[in-house]
């Protein structure tokens, strides 16, 4: 369950023998994405109803490939693309399927457990998006679809939270 190798503030880079600081932009991005998929899992448990719970599980599956892409070395990223425009379109289709009416007031999270969990996941995804943007500015090879996916995902989670509030 532990190796003790990271006790001095560094960690191994997946698939290499190199070590990096736990405060590196790469580790920050991977950690934020890990937090996001955990928050999405908590939202899925709070929702516990199809089709939304099924969609949230699919998003977690998307995160497996997205995190693999981010974790890859810049040289390997071209070979391992992660998410694509197809997954971005999939999110757009799910947003449309939620059929949320235009909002007339600010939304305060917390009307229900599902609403609060979905908003928490949305905020966590936004943080992950910021970390991945910073990484993309510092390293080469980040697939642009990754940034589009994270941006669209926060929109999806917002729409899902509003839909949960409305009992949809």
The answer to whether position 140 is within a domain reads yes
51 prior amide bond cis, ω within 30 = yes
Which residues does residue 21 pair with via DSSP β-bridges, in sequence order? 10
Range of the domain at 55: 21-98+109-165
| Residue 53, in any domain of the structure | yes
Q: What is the pTM of this model?
A: 0.92
Number of domains in the chain: 1
CA separation for the pair 48, 129 (Å, rounded): 26
Please indicate, yes or no, if residue 9 is contained in any of the structural domains: no
pLDDT in tens, 81-98: 899 999 999 999 999 999
Report pLDDT digits (tens) over 115-152: 999 999 999 999 999 999 999 999 989 999 999 999 99
Confidence of residue 1 (pLDDT cuts 50, 70, 90): confident
User: Do β-strands 19-21 and 10-12 pair in parallel, antiparallel, or remain unpaired?
Assistant: antiparallel
Tokens of 154: 């926060």
CATH number reported for the structural domain that contains residue 46 in this entry: 1.20.1200.10
Residue 103 domain-assigned? no
Q: What is the pLDDT of residue 4?
A: 83
Averaged pLDDT score across all residues of the chain: 92
In a domain, 7, yes or no: no
């Amino acid at each position: 369950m532990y190796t003790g190798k990271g006790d001095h503030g560094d960690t191994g880079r997946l698939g290499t023998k190199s070590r990096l600081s736990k405060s590196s932009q790469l580790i920050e991005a991977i950690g934020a994405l890990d937090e996001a998929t955990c928050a999405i899992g908590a939202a899925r448990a709070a929702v516990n109803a199809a089709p939304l719970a099924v969609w949230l599980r699919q998003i977690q599956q998307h995160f497996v490939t997205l995190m693999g892409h981010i974790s890859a070395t810049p040289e390997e990223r071209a070979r391992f693309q992660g998410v694509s425009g197809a997954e971005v379109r999939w999110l757009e289709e799910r947003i449309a399927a939620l059929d949320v009416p235009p909002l007339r007031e600010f939304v305060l999270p917390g009307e229900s457990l599902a609403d609060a969990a979905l908003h928490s996941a949305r905020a966590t995804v936004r943080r992950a998006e910021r970390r991945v943007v910073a990484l993309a500015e510092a390293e080469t090879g980040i697939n642009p679809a990754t940034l589009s996916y994270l941006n669209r995902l926060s929109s999806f989670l917002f729409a899902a939270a509003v839909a949960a509030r409305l009992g949809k």
